[in-house]
Amino acid sequence: MSTETMKEHASSTHASPDGLEELASDTRQFVTFFAGEEVFAVDMAPVQEIIRLPEVVRVPLAPPALDGLANLRGKILPIISLRRMFGFPEREADEASRAVVVDVGQPLGFVVDRVASVVSVEPASIEPAGAISGTIDTELVSGLIKEVGGHPMIMVLNFEKLIEREFSKIMASSRTTNASSVALGDLGEDANEAQIDELQLVSFSVADQEYAVEIGNVQEIVQVPDSIIHVPHSDEHVVGVMTLRSRLLPLVSLRRMFGLEARAMDEKSRIVVLALGVASVGVVVDGVSEVLRVAKNCVEAVPSALSKDNGLAEISGICRLDDGKRLVSIIAVMDLFTNSAIREALLAVTDQDKVSDTELSDEMMDDDEQVVIFRLGKEEFGVPINSVQEIVRVPENLIRVPTAPDIVEGIINLRGSVLPVIDLRLRLGLPAIERTDGQRIMVFLIADVRTGFIVDQVAEVLKIASANIEAAPQLSQDQAGLLSRMANLAKQSRMVQLLDPKFLIKAQDVESLIGVAA
C-alpha cells in the first residue's frame, strides 16, 4: 500500500456530505497498527509504504530486534521486529503481518501484526504520554490519541527514539572500528616475499582424480546454469555456451578432453572460468575441492614418458602432498588454450556473438571484484579472493590447546606450521553445528598470524560488478567493520554479505592468538 493510496483513503473517510474536504491544514494523519495486544500509530509523513513481509537475509552480530535484510526493488531494507523491540512474546507471521516502511534517515521496515487504518487527528486531540503505565516505555511514545478509529487509546510511537535506543552506536561504530583496524592491517610485505617460493592453486576433481590451476588464471567459479546453448556440429569436447553477465561463455568438458567417461552434470559440478588475455573459457569439472598454497619444491615435472607425445601436454607438473599420498596434477592454462577443443569453443562463441576485443577488454577492467563465496547455514558471505591464503579440508580431530582463547576451536599442523582454527559460526554469534564433509577451513593472514576459520561450505568464486556493491546498514559496532558491505544481486534475488577478514579477530585477542601459533 503506497502513501498516496493511504492518504486518499484518509481523505475520503473524512469528507463532508456534499463531497468537500473538511480536513484542516493542521490536521495530522496517522497509520495505526497492532503489535501484541497494543494499538500504535505513526505519523503518515515518514511512512513510505506498507508491504507484505519479504524474504530476509539474516545478519550475524546484529541487534536481536533485526529480522534481517530484504531486497526492496533493488535497495537493501532492514526489517525490524516491533514485538522483539518491546519484549512482547514471539509470534509466527501470518497473512495479516506487514512491514511498515518508515524513513528515519534511511528506510527501515518495522514488522507489525496487522495494519488497522489511517486516521486524521487534530493536534489538540493528542495528549502527552506521561499518563501511560504498563509494558511500554513512555520515552518511546510521543503522545496518546483517545477514542479514534474505535480504539479507546492509541500510542503514537517515536521511531527515532526506538532506533536510537536499539542501535545507539550505529553511526559512531564505523569510525571507531575503522580506526581500531589499523593495528590489524592487511597482508604485509613479508607475507608477499614468503609467497614467492609458493604456488597458490585452485584444485578440482575430474573422474576421482585431482587437478589444479594457478589461482591467477581463475576468473571465477560458478555453478552450472539452468540453460546451456548447445552448438550444432561442434566437437564432443564442447559442452555449449552459457550466458555470464550478458556475455557468452564457451564451455568445455575436462572429462571429454582427457578421454574419460562422460557423466551428466549435477549439483556438485562447477564451471571454472579461465582467462587468457581477452578470451575466457568455462571448464566443466566434477567438483571444486580446495584452494592450496604449496611450496614449489613439492612440484615435480611430468615424467617424459607421459608428456606431450602421450597426450598430456596440458599437465605442467605433479604436486605431491601428504607425504606423497596425494597427487595433484597441475594444468598449464597457456597450453590448455592451445587445445583444439578450446579453440573450437572460442570460435563457436565468435560465430554466435560478435563481441569485439575492445568490448571484452572493457568488460574485464578492474571495476569488478573477485570474491570467494561461502555459506553459513542458508546465508551467503564473501571475502576478497586475494585475502584467502588457502582453503583446506577440516581434519577429523582438532588438537585442543588448554591455554588458547575461547574463540579457538583447536590447532592443526599445516605443512609443519601451527594453524589456530576458529569456528566462524561462533565468531559471528551463530549456533554451532555438527562437523560435516562439506565444511572447509578458510585460511587468512590476520595481524601477521595465519588463522583458519571453519565455514559450512565454500560455494564458488564470483566476479561482482562494483555497481552491485553497496554499504551495508550499520547495525552494531562489531558488524559495522566486519560486515560493512553487501553485494545486492537483484536480478538473481540474491544478497551476499561481504566480510572484511582483518576484523575477524578482535584487537584484544591478537596477542593470545600469536601465543597459540608460536
The mean per-residue pLDDT over the stretch 33-48 comes to 89
pTM of the model: 0.71
The SS3 of residue 494 is strand
Residue 475 has pLDDT above 60, yes or no: yes
The SS3 of residue 345 is helix
- Determine the pLDDT at residue 114: 92
The greatest distance separating any two alpha carbons of the chain, rounded to the nearest whole angstrom, comes to: 100
pLDDT in tens, 394-429: 988 888 888 777 778 888 988 888 889 999 999 898
- Determine the pLDDT at residue 138: 66
Q: Which amino acid is at 159?
A: F
pLDDT in tens, 197-228: 788 888 999 998 899 998 888 888 888 888 88
Q: What does R_g of the chain's alpha carbons equal in angstroms?
A: 29
Closest CA to 469 of 496, 442, 448, 493: 496
The mean per-residue pLDDT over the stretch 151-162 comes to 84
- Lowest mean pLDDT segment, chosen from 40-49, 177-186, 306-315: 177-186
Report whether 288 contacts 257 (CB < 8 A): no
Sheet with strand 98-103: strands edge to edge: 47-51, 98-103, 107-112, 75-81, 66-72
Cα 340 from Cα 166, distance rounded (Å): 62
pLDDT in tens, 82-104: 999 888 899 899 999 999 999 88
pLDDT in tens, 340-369: 656 666 665 555 544 334 343 444 445 788
Q: Number of C-alpha atoms within 13 angstroms, CB side, residue 277?
A: 6
> To the nearest whole percent, how much of the chain has pLDDT over 90?
22
Parallel/antiparallel/unpaired status of strands 66-72 and 209-214: unpaired
**Confidence bin at 106 (pLDDT 50/70/90):** confident
Closest CA to 53 of 93, 83, 91, 1: 93
CA 113 remoteness from chain centre? 29
Residue 497 has pLDDT above 50, yes or no: yes
- Lowest mean pLDDT segment, chosen from 192-196, 344-348, 370-374, 397-401: 192-196
Sheet with strand 390-393: strands edge to edge: 299-300, 315-321, 326-331, 209-214, 198-206, 287-295, 390-393, 440-446, 449-455, 417-423, 408-414
Q: Number of C-alpha atoms within 13 angstroms, CB side, residue 363?
A: 18
Residue 2 has pLDDT above 90, yes or no: no
- Determine the pLDDT at residue 440: 93
Class of the domain covering 3-168? mainly beta
Position with higher pLDDT, 242 vs 307: 242
190-363: CATH, from 2.40.50.180, 3.40.50.150, 2.60.40.10, 3.30.70.1140: 2.40.50.180
Cα 473 from Cα 482, distance rounded (Å): 12
Class of the domain covering 367-517? mainly beta
Helix ranges (H only) for 57-132 are 82-86
Query: H/E element holding 487?
Result: strand 485-489
Which DSSP string corresponds to 232-275?
Answer: TT--TTEEEEEEETTEEEEEEEHHHHTTPPP----TT-EEEEEE
End-to-end alpha carbon distance in the chain: 60
Residue 513 has pLDDT above 70, yes or no: yes
pLDDT in tens, 54-66: 999 999 988 888 9
Is 367-517 in the same CATH topology as 3-168?
yes
- Determine the pLDDT at residue 54: 92
Q: Where are the domains of the chain?
A: 3-168, 190-363, 367-517
| Mean pLDDT, the chain, integer | 78
